[in-house]
Amino acid sequence: MKQRLIAFMQGRYGNDELNILLLISSLLLNLLSPISEIFSGLGMVCICYAIYRMFSKNIYQRRCENAKILPYVSFIKAKLKNKGKARLFMCPKCKRTLRIPKGKGKVTVNCPCGNAIKRKS
């Protein structure tokens, strides 16, 4: 049985961060379904898209889709990990997560991409 599953999944994309995000959002949308049926429908769309992406054989396209959301996912992970120690923000040019210590006033941050950003810490 395990060998058949391995053979079936060979050449298919599998799971990634976007699929996890789609499944979490479908769970949240289904929790809102008592308010309106639209949320339940949107949750089902998210699940169907996640399943489609998981079994897709167009690996290059799926990786491109995942690469578009990876900066945002890493920003959310950094925000959750931060616990109020530093001010986090995203570079508008390259979408990299930047951090500055809190309480230093207005500072200029130089991103590795060459973009200079003025922010209040």
Contact residues toward Zn ion (CB under 5 A) are 91, 93-94, 96, 111, 113, 115
Among residues 28 and 94, whose Cβ is nearest to Zn ion? 94
Among residues 62 and 87, whose Cβ is nearest to Zn ion? 87
Residue 90 CB neighbours (<10 A): 17
Q: How far is the CB of 83 from Zn ion (least distance, A)?
A: 24
Classify 99 as helix, strand or coil.
strand
Q: How far is the CB of 30 from Zn ion (least distance, A)?
A: 37
Among residues 84 and 92, whose Cβ is nearest to Zn ion? 92
Max intra-chain CA distance, the chain: 61
Q: How far apart are CA 12 and CA 46, in angstroms?
A: 19
Q: How far is CA 111 from CA 2, 94, 99, 119, in A?
A: 47, 9, 10, 12
Q: How far is the CB of 71 from Zn ion (least distance, A)?
A: 10
